[in-house]
Structure 1
Amino acid sequence: MTIEKIDTLIVGAGQSGIAMSEHLRDCGVPHIVLERKRVAEQWRSGRWDSLVANGPAWHDRFPHLEFDDVPPDSFPPKERVARYFEDYARMINAPIRTGVEVQRVQRNEGRPGFLVTTSEGPIEAQRVVAATGPFQVPHYPHIVPADAGFDQIHSSAYKNPVQLADGAVLVVGGGASGAQITEELQRAGRTVYLSIGEHYRPPRSYRQRDYVWWLGVLGKWDEIKTDAKKKHVAFAVSGYDGGKTIDFRRLAENGVTILGLTQGYENGVISLADDLAANIAEGDRAYLEVLHEADAYVERNGIDLPLEPEAWEIGPDPACMTDPVLKLDLVAAGIKTIIWATGFKFDFSWLDVNAFHEDGTPYHKRGISSETGIYFLGLPELTNRASSFIYGCWYDAKYIATHIVVQRNYVAYEKE
């Protein structure tokens, strides 16, 4: 049987796979991109209906194509983002094959490269780039038993309020997803409880500049001066409703009951940590720190940006903070649905190579793995905090493409 051969095989046709394809094309590296569903599938079906990009249109894009029908400071809806990547792939003539699932990758014996088993047959590749992104397998703690009598879904399965059973809703997770879903449900007239843990809560914008701009000029994308502990907590910022700062006090004022971290469950009762006030206070500290740094930057550089004194105002603590709920009887509260907005975990079970730590996380440096010829792209913190964002993965892909070219040159060397 004839086996197709290719220099580099990219797995995934989302933002990372398309960025990788562009840079390999520019470097003259033969490659193909395999996608088990459609281009940018996660943007289409992997999120709720009202999802928008987390950054404004002027920023959350690749360098060589703008959104032609979205105002620069607006946040493109998910279907428009998916179409953007379709357009980009077409513009660069990316060699994408959709509807092809990569089932296994294993190193060849006695010769270079890898045997890639796919749903359409085997392929041999000298290199493989895993560009499957950070949102692979929904992750949530198994605190409430599946047979406890409540509907439980992950945020990735949530679409809109209409799909949920009548009754109150408990949302678990204080990042952008949890906050967005909570506000949408509250506006739809639902009674909502929101359980949050530690979080990093920056301003959406300040002094007429979006937070992504402040991340850039303050050096926070590269995290050179960023407190490392902020890397591993929920990132509470979103473009929902035109882009507003996530404010848990405001949610409480609007009728949402804010709770501490969900810890356990017994006989219909959720137990909650007594950490709500401390977590919100830490979120406030991070928020005010950005304002301080922004003001210092404006003054130091003599930039003419208007003052925004109202941004410094922190509202009064709501009753759910001063008298926190530590036990929540779900039935008594009328809760019928629990939404776990608790993130994702990796699934690289198809990669049968020596490129992982004992806990299954990728073993790499800037996307170059411990297994020669295997690369990772689009993962959180791959090189910096921008790596899993649209803007960041394009530049990470350029670095990996350069490394691939260097490795190809080594292999091609022949002594005269």
Structure 2
Amino acid sequence: MPKTAAETTEVVIIGGGQAGIAMSEHLNERGVDHIVLEKDRVAEAWRSRRWDSLVANGPAWHDRFPTQEFSDTDPDGFATKGEVADYFQTLVDRKHLPVRTGVTVTSVTENPGARGYKVTTDAGEIAADFVVAATGPFQIPRIPDIIPAEAELNQLHSNSYKNPEQLDAGGVLVVGAGSSGVQIAAEIQKSGRPVHLAVGPHDRPPRSYRGRDFCWWLGVLGLWDLATPPAGAEHVTIAVSGAQGGHTVDFRDLAASGITLLGRANSYADGRLIIGDDLQTNIARGDDNYLTLLRDADDYIERNGLDLPPEPEAHILGPDPESVREPIRELDLAGAGITTVIWATGFGVDYSWLGVDGVLDERGYPVQKRGVSPVPGMYFLGLPWLSRRGSSFIWGVWHDAKYLADQIGIQRMYRDYAPVHADDFAEAVS
């Protein structure tokens, strides 16, 4: 006979970040017995896996759950990483959500010959009818295999960067021009170090336009609800910043501050970094993304008769800096004084603990539709584009969790169904 689990519950949620907390809140409202398992602390990624000065990229009125506001943050301001972590802990405490911290899940397997799953942890086993994998998309730091480890450089991923003081003396190369890369590069440059920034394909929305934050514009224009990314833009990063009160990222400004812009880092040989001939194209594509949103916003204002102040100067872009007009194609890192490389190149997922056949593809990514896997009772939450563009954002994951809670409710109904014979029914209603 199979070993009996020490504990049973209806739903196990794996992960105590924004996705796991959102899922727990919805199940709690429905009275569904569940447990959230978190190997560290609630919202640990916000606490310890980001740089010191990080703030949310969306304003506090937008980057939150509908059921709780930020208590000490201006609604139009940008919460610090500590305020975001405290926000989720407050919600857990206020709603008495069943979160267990310091518990590591080592495996999830199907119960052989029985319904549901066995969740094995370093604190024992739990049997559950349903499992929600809410560990999110930021599990394994991705560093491209470009510069060998034996090169005389300090190489670290952006999740290990805290502040300029931790870095070796000398210049810094930041690879990646999404929100993390541009904010880290700007912070290091302001500390007095020379900085090179490798810029790949990106979207570059305005921080605000005509008195409204870009989060508002994406909402009223229906762009948060795009079901799939545009062709060729599946992995394009977004260059936007909430730092210093929020501002539009413009690579011309970064160049004017003293940062040297580069194209994409392609390869490395004999101490020299080989740079792609794509910097001008990447800058132009980001500009087009920026200007398109401005035009769409203007059209929306006119159609709806809104009284929002014109901002014609926002449409005017300055000339390309010299590093864009005459791009560097090969960089001698030692000659440029570079001693540190920070890879702001994103993350991969880690489902090595998930031993359920048919729920992961050959790359190790979930097979799912709106978070519902092809294996009954197995769900995923918190991934980019799970159901829409906004799925990996704080507010978006809350709505995705609501959908999964509904799906679990439907399956509970089928699970609990028992046929009633005609005689029993007649007796019950008589």
User: Is TM (by shorter chain) over 0.5?
Assistant: yes
> What is residue 215 of structure 1 aligned with on the other side?
218
Match of 1:232 among 232, 235, 238: 235
Runs of 4+ displaced beyond 6 Å: none
3-state SS in 2 of match to 1:293: helix
**Residues 116-161 of structure 1, C-alpha deviation per residue, up to 9 Å, x if partnerless?**
1101011111111011111111011010000111000000000000
Asked if 1:133 corresponds to 2:136, the answer is: yes
Q: Secondary structure at the match of 2:285?
A: helix
From the superposition, tell whether residues 105 and 298 of structure 1 become closer, same or farther in structure 2 (CA, over 3 Å). Answer: same
3-state SS in 2 of match to 1:105: strand
Match of 1:261 in 2: 264
Alignment match of 1:410 (pick from 398, 407, 414): 414
Instruction: For residue 225 of structure 1, report the CA deviation from its aligned partner.
Output: 9.7
SS of 2:390's equivalent? coil
Question: Is 1:188 matched up with 2:191?
Answer: yes
- Is the aligned partner of 1:170 residue 2:169? no
Distance 1:317 1:134, change over 3 A: same
Classify the secondary structure of the residue corresponding to 1:59. coil
Aligned AA (1:406) = I
Instruction: Give the distance between the partners of 1:26 and 1:228, measured in 2 at CA.
Output: 38
CA distance in 1, matches of 2:5, 2:278: 62
Aligned with 1:365: secondary structure?
A: coil
SS at match of 1:291: helix
1:92 Cα deviation (Å)?
1.5
- Counterpart among 247, 250, 259 of residue 247 in structure 1: 250
| Compared CA separation, residues 142 and 226, structure 1 to 2 (3 A) | closer
Contact 1:379/1:387 (<8 A) preserved = yes
Query: SS at 1:117's partner residue?
Result: strand
* Equivalent position amino acid for 2:143 in 1: Y
> Structure 1 350/81 Cα, relative in aligned 2: closer, same or farther at 3 Å?
same
8 Å Cα contact 1:48/1:160 also seen in 2: yes
Letter in 2 for 1:137: I
1:385 aligned to which of 379, 385, 389? 389
Counterpart of 1:58 in structure 2 is: 61
Deviation (angstroms), 1:360? 1.1
Among 369, 374, 380, the residue aligned to 2:373: 369
Q: Secondary structure at the match of 1:89?
A: helix
Q: 1:295 to 1:69 in 2, by over 3 A?
A: same
Between the aligned partners of 1:114 and 1:65, the Cα distance in structure 2 is: 32
Structure 1 position 341 matched with structure 2 position 344: yes
Identity percentage over the alignment?
A: 56
Paired amino acid for 2:419? K
TM-score under structure 1 normalisation? 0.98
> Aligned partners of 2:99, 2:37: CA distance in 1, in Å?
6
Cα 1:340–1:225 change in 2 (3 A) is closer
Larger Rg: 2
State the distance in 1 between where 2:330 and 2:11 align: 54
Indicate the RMSD between aligned Cα atoms, in angstroms: 1.1
Relative to structure 1, the CA distance from residue 133 to residue 2 in structure 2 (aligned partners, 3 Å threshold; closer, same or farther) is closer
What are structure 1's unaligned runs of at least 5 residues?
none
Q: Choose the corresponding residue for 2:32, options 29, 34, 52.
A: 29
- Normalising by structure 2, we get a TM-score of 0.95
2:123 is matched by which residue type in structure 1? E
What is the distance in 1 between the residues matched to 2:229 and 2:54?
A: 28
Residue-by-residue CA offset, 1:373-408 (whole Å, 9 max, x unaligned):
111100000001111100100000000000001001
State the 1:237 CA deviation.
Answer: 1.1
| 1:360 paired residue number | 364
Give the distance between the partners of 1:380 and 1:56, measured in 2 at CA: 20
Matched residue count: 416
